[in-house]
A and B are shown apart, each in its own frame.
Chain A
Amino acid sequence: MSGILEGLRVVEMGHWVAVPSACAVLADWGAEVIKIEPLTGESARGLRQLGEQTGDLFFNGVPVNWRIELHNRGKRGLAVDAIHESGREIICKLARWADVFMTNYELESLTRLRLDYARLSQENPKLIYALLTGYGTKGPDKDERGFDYAAAWAHSGIQFLLGEPGSPPPPPRGGMMDRTAGFQMLAGIMAALLHREKTGEGQELHVSLYHTGVWTLAADIEAALLGVPLPKYERHKIKNPLANLYRTKDDRWIQMIMLQSDLQWHGFCRAIGKPELENDPRFNNMLARAVHCEELISLLDAIFATRTLAEWEPLLRENKCIFSRIQTPAEVTTDPQAAINGFFSTIPHPVAQELKLVNSPVHFQQNPARIKSHAPEIGQHTEEVLLEIGYSWEDIARLKEERTIL
């Protein structure tokens, strides 16, 4: 069965994570993605761990640049020096070939390279042009460089609100908000493509990391807009103790999330082996539990500390509690629930023989997503792509000599 976006043509002039990850998803969905990189490769190729692991992770005895593989699978790679006039011409030709052009280069570089929407839409008026910025295209900070840590996490309010009062505000994990912004872009592109089907018109669309963070945190921002910002969570004072986390005897944590706690109180009391609490007037309804939350939480802390996670899970399940263990990444990779739902794929790899990769999260039932191939080396498909868009072998030889391509 063909991919759901079979036939769609995408040109990526992206680096780091946000735009590359969105284009990897488009490739998984069947689109033909051409990634344009400078001759030295894009920035993320250098983002390897330092110290004990200088270089890549070893897998099957060989080094794998796993971050590049994760975010660039299924693409063809083209290495072009866009500063050269002849390099710029190649990109303009590709814009004529493409349905979608995606970039997270700085707007001032794009303008300087004459690869902004105004120019590329002259090449191809039907082009969908998607631009990611750190902080938006207007305002005092429009030219600030923003990584997701800074623009989407620190600046949006997320980091401020996470963690206990007084504790250092926790940074995100690598690329979290980049992959989120990437999906916002992807959704926008799909909407613009549908609109183009109906009207024949192209479109320019912008997403910023900052706005992505703000939308992700929208409930808190909405409260702040009304002038009543919500406080940070304090674990020992959560008003609904059935929506709180508890530590087990083996130092694991369980996140409970029973938002309709009056419906679940009965089962919960049974699960923890304290049926007598059910009708205790201090705790027997939502208001009582809110008033006596500190007392109840310290009681529950003592109870949860008496059993291990493995002992608690079946008890909580049998009694229809809504919860999850706080899992480690290693546990995720061996979780039968993740495996059977298709969270991971194994693909052939020329160096490591095979490579296990994380699948993107949309499961089309009739036209399933599929990782087509491993990530390209820098410029791996330059010749192939140039031949396809009308360059001759002589042109290619000349471009190589000029150092416009690899």
Chain B
Amino acid sequence: MAGILEGLKVLEMGHVVAVPAASATMADWGAEIIKLEPLTGEMARGILTPITPEEKAWVANPQYVNWYFEFLNRGKKGIAIDLRSEAGKKIMRELVGWADIFMSNYEVKTIEKLQADYESLKKINPRIIYAILTGYGTVGPDKDERGFDFSAAWARSGAMFLMGEPGSIPPPQRGGMMDRVTGAHMVGGVLAALYHREKTGEGQKIEFSLYHTGVWTIAEDIQPALLGSPPGKLVHALARNPLWNNYRTRDDRWFWAAMLQPDLSWGNFCRALGHPEWENDPKFNNLEQRYWNREELIRLIDEVLATKTLAEWEAIFRANDVIYGRVQSPMEVAADPQALANNFFVDLHHNVRPDMKTVMTPVKFVQNPPEVKAPAPEVGQHTEEVLLSMGYTWEDIARLKEQQVIL
């Protein structure tokens, strides 16, 4: 079955994570992606550059794969062009003529210097859907600040401030988290613009920022702040609804009690904890009473949960219809039968590591299922192939190589 975006043409001038993640998603969905890189390759190829001797030994292993670059760039064609040269700019402009979508997270001033701004590209292809990602937006005092997701989306948005117990060190996000969230926003936006183009014939410029992605992601905290009531951090010992809280088990594991309609679950929860007498205790027997007596109740729950392991509790919770989620490690996720049953991980078909799996994107089209088509390209792996398909001859290609415009 054909991929759902079969026939769609995307020119990616992206680096690091956000834009590559967006175009990898569209590649999984069947679109043709040409990734344009400088001759030295884009930055993300260097993220795993070894620093310590152990890391150097790891990279020297013949089975080593640059997995960070792989999973963000699977299924794309790679071409390497020096865009500072006139001949290189010409190739880029020709590719813009070919493409439905152009996406980039280069700095705006770099894009202007490369004459890849919307005004220039729309002259070549008025129907182009042009998507640009910045750290902090395209106007305002910080428009030229370089932003990574750690800073622009996580620290600046309020998410990092609000995480963790009061007094604890604000936790940084994990690598690329908010970039991949931004990537989903970008896919949604560019495809909506394409749908509009199908109806009207009109192209579109779309702007995204990491900062706005962060703000939308924690909109339930920004919204009350906008209304004058900024929220505070969560405190385990003072959770407003003790059935919506983090708890530790005897084997030092944690789980999240996820009962947002706690009056419906309270009886089950009491039975699961082996304290059916709590159910009708007037101190705890409804939402409001549990709120007023929450410190006592949370202490009691903490004590009970510390008597059994997570595995023991899970069997009991399931038998009693308690809604919860265990805090899993990534190794547990990688082996989780539920993740495997739902096809979270697929073969990358990498010739160096034939056994290598990669993380699938999360949208499952039932009639036109997504698939990972191929591993990530080497720097410039498809330069010749793409140039030939655009009408360049082998002589042209030889000349461009000599001039160091392409690899």
Contacts and interface: CB of A to CB of B under 8 A. Distances in A.
Q: Which 3 A-B pairs have the closest CB atoms?
A: A150-B325, A139-B341, A341-B137
Given A150-B256, A150-B325, A220-B175, A362 B185 contact: yes
A132 to B, nearest CB: 10
Nearest to A254: B155
Contacts of B174: 158, 161-162, 217, 219-220, 230
Contacts of B333: 155-157, 214, 221, 224
Nearest to B213: A361
Contacts of B146: 322
A299 interface: no
Contacts of A190: 187-188, 191-192, 194-195
Interface string A44-62: 0011011101100101000
Contacts of B254: 154, 159, 168-169
Interface residues of A, number: 154
Contact of B221 (A156, A173, A341, A363): A173
Contact of A367 (B26, B148, B196): B196
B304 interface: no
Contact of B141 (A141, A202, A332, A336): A336
B187 A147 contact: no
Given A195-B4, A203-B367, A206-B366, A219 B68 contact: yes
Interface string A205-235: 1111011101111111111111001100101
Contact of B339 (A184, A214, A290): A214
Interface in A320-334: 322-333
A66 interface: yes
Interface stretch (A89-97, A175-183, A376-384, A391-399): A175-183
Nearest to B342: A136
Interface stretch (B84-92, B157-165, B275-283, B386-394): B157-165
A296 to B, nearest CB: 14
B202 interface: yes
B51 A146 contact: no
A356 interface: yes
A366 interface: yes
Interface string A336-374: 111011011000000000011111111111110000000
Contacts of B341: 136, 138-140, 142
A223 B220 contact: no
A229 B366 contact: no
22 contacts: A149-B325, A153-B256, A167-B168, A169-B246, A170-B165, A183-B184, A185-B363, A188-B363, A190-B188, A193-B195, A210-B344, A217-B174, A221-B334, A230-B174, A245-B169, A245-B170, A255-B154, A325-B155, A326-B161, A329-B218, A362-B185, A365-B206
B136 interface: yes
A329 B323 contact: no
A153 B241 CA distance: 19
Contacts of B217: 176, 179-180
B359 A70 contact: no
Contacts of A39: none
Contacts of A357: 223, 226
Interface string A284-309: 00110011000000000000000000
A179 B182 CA distance: 12
Contact of B328 (A4, A157, A171, A206): A157
A205 B208 CA distance: 25
A222 B359 contact: yes
Interface residues of B, number: 150
A343 B363 contact: no
A338 B226 CA distance: 12
Nearest to B218: A173
Contacts, number: 478
A365 B7 contact: no
Interface stretch (B228-236, B375-383, B396-404): B228-236
Given A154-B256, A162-B171, A332-B222, 11 more contacts: A50-B288, A54-B288, A136-B338, A142-B341, A151-B325, A163-B169, A191-B187, A211-B339, A222-B70, A329-B161, A356-B226
B188 A225 contact: no
A145 interface: yes
B311 interface: no
B164 A167 contact: yes
B220 A361 contact: no
A194 B198 contact: yes
B182 to A, nearest CB: 8
A154 B248 CA distance: 13
A123 interface: no
A64 interface: yes
A109 to B, nearest CB: 15
B151 interface: yes
A184 B209 CA distance: 17
A105 to B, nearest CB: 15
B175 A219 contact: yes
B41 interface: no
A154 B325 contact: yes
A157 B330 contact: yes
A187 interface: yes
Contacts of B182: 361
B150 A361 contact: no
Contact of A255 (B142, B150, B208, B361): B150
A278 interface: no
A155 B339 CA distance: 10
A150 B323 CA distance: 8
Q: Give the residue among A64, A205, A233 with the most B Cβ atoms within 10 A.
A: A205
A223 to B, nearest CB: 7
A174 B220 CA distance: 6
Given A59-B227, A192-B4, A343-B215, A163 B158 contact: no
Interface string B164-182: 1100111111111100111
Nearest to B236: A168
A260 interface: yes
A46 B260 CA distance: 10
A169 B163 CA distance: 10
A67 B223 contact: yes
A268 interface: no
B368 interface: yes
B142 A337 contact: yes
A253 B164 CA distance: 14
Interface in B53-101: 65, 67-68, 70-71
Contacts of B323: 144-145, 147, 150
A275 interface: no
Contact of B185 (A183, A193, A317, A322): A183
A147 B227 contact: no
B67 A223 contact: yes
Contacts of B71: 218-219, 222
B374 interface: no
A187 B191 contact: yes
Contacts of A328: 158, 161, 225, 230
